[in-house]
Structure 1
Amino acid sequence: MLLYFDLKTMSKSLFKSTSVVVSMTMISRVFGFIRDMVTAHFFGAAAQFDAFSVAFRIPNFMRRLFAEGSFSQAFVPVLSEYQKKKSEPEVRQFINAMSGTLGVVLLGVTMLGIIFAPWIIRLFAPGFETQGDRFDLAVTMLRINFPYLMLISLTAFSGAILNTYSRFWVAAFTPVFLNICMIAAAFWLSPQFTTPIIGLAWGVCIAGIIQLLFQLPFLKTLHMLPRPRINFRDPGVTRVLKLMVPALFGVSVGQVNLLVDTLFASLLMVGSVSWLYYSDRLMEFPLGVFGVAISTVILPHLSRHHATQSDQSFSLTIDWALRAVLLIGVPAAVVLAVMAGPMLSTLFQYGRFNAFDVIQASKSLSAFAIGITPFMLVKILSAGFYARQDLRTPVRIGVIAMIANMIFNVLLIWPLAHAGIAMATSLSALLNTGFLFYFLRQRGFYHPREGWRLFTVRLIAANVVLAAWLWLGAGDLQTWMTHHAMWRYGHLLFLLGSAVVIYFAALWLSGIRLHHLLMREQQPA
């Protein structure tokens, strides 16, 4: 009985923390949609925005790879262990050493990025050199954007500390400032430049400064505001660095694949990079709001369970996260697959983003939709390995998935163009998910609770109902593209709002209740 109440309390804590992160991230994503609508209006899917997409994606990719990817997955488990087993002065000493060491590494990477910007663009967008002035423009904006890597990585470091101490909302809310700065730059800064898109790049750099400054007062409240000390020999720093090296290809494989996608897209017709960008932005909404939120919350919990050798609680936490992700991820994939065209038309078909762009972007969005749920699951399953400081397994699986993505790109890019690139990314995510799940089960890290078969049947039934409703309600894409904006917004809001009601009603009728997400004392299936 005591175990039941402990597990029930744990699941409520996870649900509450996740709800906080989801709420804050939702605010950020709404501002992100406004940002994308503004940039689509002013810049469309033309060559200049292709150049900005690459220049912004490279430091953003490195931020996710090093800061939110390998660094966070290595740093949070070590910090959680320090929090459990060390004194507060020892924790502060570790944070000081980590901040100084990380800062000097980031400064060096930033300087190298600025110096070697032309070669980086040649590497990740080789097609730009042969098509107009996209290459020179991308180089200029990459040099403006590279300091953002250092600033936002330090922000991610601060956020990891706050998350470990259960201040989840601060890090989740921080990206709002990036969206606000980019919106402001599009309206007021871009007109000051001969080439307006450069103003957008400066908006990104300014956002990095604001995001870092926003988090510092909260660290001070926790008495964890770093006093940077460069110390590569600190035991905690050494452990983090050793864990980081193999983790580079682990949970961040999806980001590596996106850059590979950019490389291939640069070889296609002008606009291909932009179509992938806008479809990826819509895919990132459910992934960022729910997938990242749940993985962010469970990693400190899993790390603490591993530190205290609570194997059953460790497995139950993963089980809870998997069910929560599937309840949201599967319908998100259905919505984006069925409603790709109407959503893109409603959100972006204004100004320089025309009907042709909507049709092309909807092709890649439909292909990306297949990978939404696997992308979410990868984040959960990878956390299970990182919390145990087992990094070799995700690395090996990540390398296999990355190679598979390249092969799929070569096979699919010619018949499907940019949509083939999106499909390749989704297929590699499926492969990544399958291997991660297999090895979690094989090594005994995860034992599914009872009821998975029935849960799966009910979930499929509810999503079939959802897909049928959306397909009937969406109608012909030409109707959306020819109607005025208010009709599109009204019709889209009605369809999405009713879809939420119908989906959860179908779940309820099938027998799924909210309390089914609460952990119970059950034997593994």
Structure 2
Amino acid sequence: MNLFRAAATVSSLTLLSRITGLARDIIIARTFGASALTDAFWVAFRIPNLLRRLFAEGAFTQAFVPILAEVKQTSEDQDTVRQTIDRVAMALFSALSLITLIGIVGAPVVVLAIASGLSAADRAAEYEAAVWMTRLMFPYIVCMSLVSFASGVLNTWKRFAVPAFTPVLLNLSMIAASVWLSNQVSQPIYALALGVMIGGVAQLAVQWWAISKLGLRPRLSSPTEAFADSTVKRVMRQMLPATLGVSVAQVSILINTNIATWLTPGSVTWLSFADRLMEFPTALIGVALGTVLLPTLSKAHADQNHGDYSRLLGWGMRIVFVLGLPAALAMMMLADGLVSTLFQYGAFSANDVQQTELAVMAYAVGLIGLLLVKILAPGFYGKQDIKTPVKIAILVLILTQLFNLLLVPTLAHVGLALAIGLGACINALALYIGLRRRKLYQPQAGWWPFLGRLVLGLAVMASAMLFIGGDIDWTGQSLSIWQRAGWLALTLGGGLSGYLVTLWVLGMRPADFKRAPSLP
């Protein structure tokens, strides 16, 4: 399978996931608005979601995929591979089940730790709702941990489609819960928590079916044998620094959520919706590329192919710049149009639009940094070097909180978003310097002319968007939903067309980005 085609497959299915996720948030905004109880849901959802990223998708994937790829590549005995899969699955399930039990029992303390602003006497109802929903959704991390395990196996066997598709099921479940369950429960917002759990079970069922078709479904084994296995111990040793590295980023998010609960009610929701818009480019570009790069880099490392290793990283960075820079420009220039077109209906007011669009613009400052981290960090993980990204992440955490101290007093929730963006840029720069110093990445010729062409293309894009949509009052009452959508599509389409035509005239072709080592 060609690497470019694999990335395109993941990206297209991820686009479907993000479209359904956006539809989900539009329906949530229209149904529930940006209220104190909506904030309570996002707080409650963030807790298991962060733990999922911490123990499953983040640290586990970074540790498990390179080791599984090595076992698959070097082992002559298929039973050894199967045993590794069986025992890693059992160890992961056992550990996360214990954490889930602790989380359910300690939910009141967990909620206060992540959202201390809910401790105020006048926010008791919000706090109780957050605790109830946290308890209901905590088992979600067990489902998603096993989903991450299955995704790691499928990606190692170059089956990228199913893992990229399954997040759609969570979005569809939450949409159905908002539409049909919200009127059936005592507190309508609780329907969203029920939808999360149903979606988690659905994702697990589909992933388990996929690895069963490969004949790799884990068999039951003893937890004692699992934790005693030498390969499981290797994964755990790799997970320790990986967990620390991922936890640094998640601690930053927890701190920001905590700070946001002390700001104007609705701040958590404004940041959540802004983050949803930023997930489009980060997932379509960064996550898609990172997903296909990690197992491929791991194989290049196992084969001692240093030239391919460097070329893979350069290929990923070129695509990030070509796609990420226009995405960041569009987010900054059309934040008001994007937010008003997508969310300004029902309970979501014009003020909510304004506050959300400011957060989108602040996040956009760090979009290239966020995307590059998805490409550069696997450059270390593929070499089974997790400690270096951890050290960098700790430094970024400290700097992000210093940015918060400087920015939040004057910019409120916008300062929180801007601090994350600036931190991501510093993270990407530090990772790049580390790769260069270790000679894991050596730039090929032609980077400066390449960037010069992009700058000219962006200038044309900005001019086109200003010409088409510069005078539109996006939040006013004069435009209907279809008029907003039409003008937004025209403005984005005109800007993107100007960008692509300029690159074409300057000699850049799609085939230039297909020149990367192929997957086996």
TM-score between both structures, scaled by the size of structure 2? 0.96
2:4 pairs, out of 15, 32, 36, with 15
Q: CA deviation at 1:472?
A: 3.0
1:316 pairs, out of 298, 301, 311, with 311
Q: Which is further off, 73-82 or 321-330?
A: 321-330
Q: CA deviation at 1:335?
A: 0.8
Alignment of structure 1 residues 413-428 onto 2, 5 Å: 413-428=408-423
Partner of 1:491: 487
Partner of 2:95: 105
Partner of 1:50: 39
Q: CA deviation at 1:43?
A: 0.6
Q: Which is further off, 250-259 or 59-68?
A: 250-259
Q: CA deviation at 1:497?
A: 2.4
CA distance in 1: counterparts of 2:142 and 2:344, whole angstroms: 34
Q: Are positions 1:161 and 2:153 aligned together?
A: yes
2:296 pairs, out of 294, 298, 301, with 301
Please give the secondary structure, in 2, of the residue aligned with 1:481: coil
Q: CA deviation at 1:403?
A: 1.1
Q: CA deviation at 1:161?
A: 0.6
2:470 pairs, out of 467, 472, 475, with 475
Partner of 2:386: 391
Q: CA deviation at 1:508?
A: 1.1
CA distance in 2: counterparts of 1:275 and 1:476, whole angstroms: 25
Q: Are positions 1:149 and 2:138 aligned together?
A: no
Please give the secondary structure, in 2, of the residue aligned with 1:140: helix
Partner of 1:517: 513
Please give the secondary structure, in 2, of the residue aligned with 1:499: helix
2:105 pairs, out of 88, 95, 115, with 115
CA distance 1:158–1:394, change in 2 (3 Å): same
Please give the secondary structure, in 1, of the residue aligned with 2:365: helix
Alignment of structure 1 residues 340-355 onto 2, 5 Å: 340-355=335-350
For residues 93-130 of structure 1, the C-alpha deviation after alignment (integer angstroms, 9 at most, x for no partner) is: 00000000000001001111111111111111111121
CA distance in 1: counterparts of 2:472 and 2:110, whole angstroms: 39
CA distance in 2: counterparts of 1:129 and 1:443, whole angstroms: 48
Q: Which runs of 5+ in 2 are unaligned?
A: none
Partner of 1:180: 172
Partner of 1:336: 331
Task: Determine if contact 1:341/1:477 at 8 Å carries over to the other structure.
Answer: no
Q: CA deviation at 1:251?
A: 5.3
Q: CA deviation at 1:510?
A: 2.3
Please give the secondary structure, in 1, of the residue aligned with 2:217: coil
CA distance in 2: counterparts of 1:64 and 1:288, whole angstroms: 14
For residues 26-77 of structure 1, the C-alpha deviation after alignment (integer angstroms, 9 at most, x for no partner) is: 1111111110110000011111110001111111111112211110010000
Partner of 1:377: 372
Partner of 1:124: 114
Partner of 2:207: 215
CA distance in 2: counterparts of 1:341 and 1:381, whole angstroms: 31
Task: Determine if contact 2:312/2:516 at 8 Å carries over to the other structure.
Answer: no
Task: Determine if contact 2:242/2:390 at 8 Å carries over to the other structure.
Answer: yes
Q: Are positions 1:204 and 2:193 aligned together?
A: no
Task: Determine if contact 2:3/2:516 at 8 Å carries over to the other structure.
Answer: no
Report the residue type matching 1:201 in the other structure: A
Partner of 2:61: 72
Task: Determine if contact 1:345/1:481 at 8 Å carries over to the other structure.
Answer: no
Task: Determine if contact 1:480/1:488 at 8 Å carries over to the other structure.
Answer: no
CA distance in 1: counterparts of 2:166 and 2:315, whole angstroms: 27
Report the residue type matching 2:81 in the other structure: V
1:410 pairs, out of 402, 405, 422, with 405
Please give the secondary structure, in 1, of the residue aligned with 2:297: helix
Report the residue type matching 1:206 in the other structure: I
Task: Determine if contact 1:318/1:446 at 8 Å carries over to the other structure.
Answer: yes
Task: Determine if contact 1:98/1:228 at 8 Å carries over to the other structure.
Answer: no
Report the residue type matching 1:143 in the other structure: R
Q: Which runs of 5+ in 1 are unaligned?
A: 1-11
CA distance in 2: counterparts of 1:275 and 1:382, whole angstroms: 29
Task: Determine if contact 1:110/1:147 at 8 Å carries over to the other structure.
Answer: yes
Task: Determine if contact 1:94/1:236 at 8 Å carries over to the other structure.
Answer: yes
Q: Which is further off, 500-509 or 472-481?
A: 472-481
1:263 pairs, out of 248, 258, 265, with 258
Report the residue type matching 2:162 in the other structure: V
Report the residue type matching 2:357 in the other structure: S
Task: Determine if contact 1:329/1:376 at 8 Å carries over to the other structure.
Answer: yes
CA distance in 2: counterparts of 1:313 and 1:414, whole angstroms: 48
Task: Determine if contact 2:177/2:194 at 8 Å carries over to the other structure.
Answer: yes
For residues 393-436 of structure 1, the C-alpha deviation after alignment (integer angstroms, 9 at most, x for no partner) is: 00000001011111111110011010000000001111111110
Partner of 1:235: 230
Partner of 1:8: none
Q: Which is further off, 494-503 or 192-201?
A: 494-503
Report the residue type matching 1:261 in the other structure: N
TM-score between both structures, scaled by the size of structure 1? 0.95
Task: Determine if contact 2:4/2:516 at 8 Å carries over to the other structure.
Answer: no
Report the residue type matching 1:194 in the other structure: S
CA distance 1:502–1:386, change in 2 (3 Å): same
Partner of 1:504: 500
Task: Determine if contact 2:54/2:250 at 8 Å carries over to the other structure.
Answer: yes
CA distance in 2: counterparts of 1:32 and 1:316, whole angstroms: 34
1:33 pairs, out of 11, 22, 28, with 22
CA distance in 1: counterparts of 2:298 and 2:357, whole angstroms: 40
Partner of 2:461: 466
CA distance 1:394–1:422, change in 2 (3 Å): same
CA distance in 2: counterparts of 1:83 and 1:202, whole angstroms: 39
The total of aligned residue pairs comes to 510
Please give the secondary structure, in 2, of the residue aligned with 1:285: helix
Task: Determine if contact 2:336/2:474 at 8 Å carries over to the other structure.
Answer: no
For residues 211-239 of structure 1, the C-alpha deviation after alignment (integer angstroms, 9 at most, x for no partner) is: 00011121111111111322112111111
Task: Determine if contact 2:32/2:189 at 8 Å carries over to the other structure.
Answer: yes
Percent of matched pairs sharing the same residue:
43
Task: Determine if contact 1:333/1:372 at 8 Å carries over to the other structure.
Answer: yes
Task: Determine if contact 2:468/2:494 at 8 Å carries over to the other structure.
Answer: no
